[in-house]
Amino acid sequence: MTREEAPHTQLEEDMRAFLVDRYAGRGGSNHTMSAYATDLRALADFLKQRGVADARSVTVHHLRAFVAGEVRRGMAKTTLARRLSCYRSFFRYLMREGRVEGNPAALVSLPKLPRKVPSFYFQEEIGGLLNSINGSDPLLLRDRALLEFIYATGVRVSECVALNVGDVNLTEGMALVLGKGAKERYVLFGTCAAAALRDYLSRRPPLQPADPLFLNHRGGRLTDRSVRRILDRRIAEVAHLRRVSPHALRHSFATHLLDGGADLRVVQELLGHASLSSTQVYTHTSRERLVQVYQTAHPRAIRADSAKDE
């Protein structure tokens, strides 16, 4: 379903109303709204072919048949999982509106997704990257402040570039971030990031609270793509440093906090995760790091490969 299409059935009317309520009315991103509109259109087309034009007539059997068909066509599990999440939300909305009595999508199992270990930098790599950015040039100061801030706070790049000067309290080491779903949260940063921000902001013209925190070379707000280019350029200046995405700095933030003994729920709060399960992926990364350090440092730790050589 697109915004230009005129819905022809009650089911399509309900889908359109759901999109308006769930996203246009709640500050959802255009990308998410577009993805959900595509997901709903696919289901509407499937049901129309079976003569189903009202949400009250949709059964779990319809949804399971739809899922089975998408699996046969080779749809990625991540895409299918997103679609089922969309359909569950859609029927929850209809229940709230009194349009249906139950949620048939809740009875359809999500495909088991492979758990990917996030890419991240070890602490020595982060130190090498940040310490390599030296000088008094305004762009150098900006790049150092930008990367120090992302690593210190764990903010998403989109959250970082949306920040204004007034959102950041250098004295308290705290910033107010607008995250996913238009939810606000406070993030913290330490003395290194605060010092880098002070150095950078001191070279800017007189500041107003509504001014963007990070500017491009033309004086406009940085974009997500600009941050990627900045990181790529700085990585290229450090010998033997792996190329990673800006999101890996967020992964590094979470991993290093857990390595240092931080509570998982504290990390969840700082990352702005709605579910603890989203944060738990970093415990795998931390355990791998612990094993690596143990096997390297403990005098009586015998690795499997060493034992085989004997």
Residues noted as catalytic: 156, 180, 247, 250, 273, 282
DSSP code of residue 54: S
Measuring CA to CA, which residue among 283, 244, 229, 219 is closest to residue 151?
244
For residue 18, give both structure tokens: 């759901």
For residue 177, give both structure tokens: 């971030």
126, β-bridge pairs = none
Measuring CA to CA, which residue among 8, 3, 102, 19 is closest to residue 55?
102
CA distance 196 to 209: 19
Measuring CA to CA, which residue among 91, 83, 67, 84 is closest to residue 17?
91
Q: How many residues does the chain have?
A: 310
CA distance 252 to 264: 15
Residue with the two structure tokens 């406070």:
186
Q: What is the dihedral of CA 46, 52, 53, 54, to 10 degrees?
A: -120
For residue 236, give both structure tokens: 């290229």
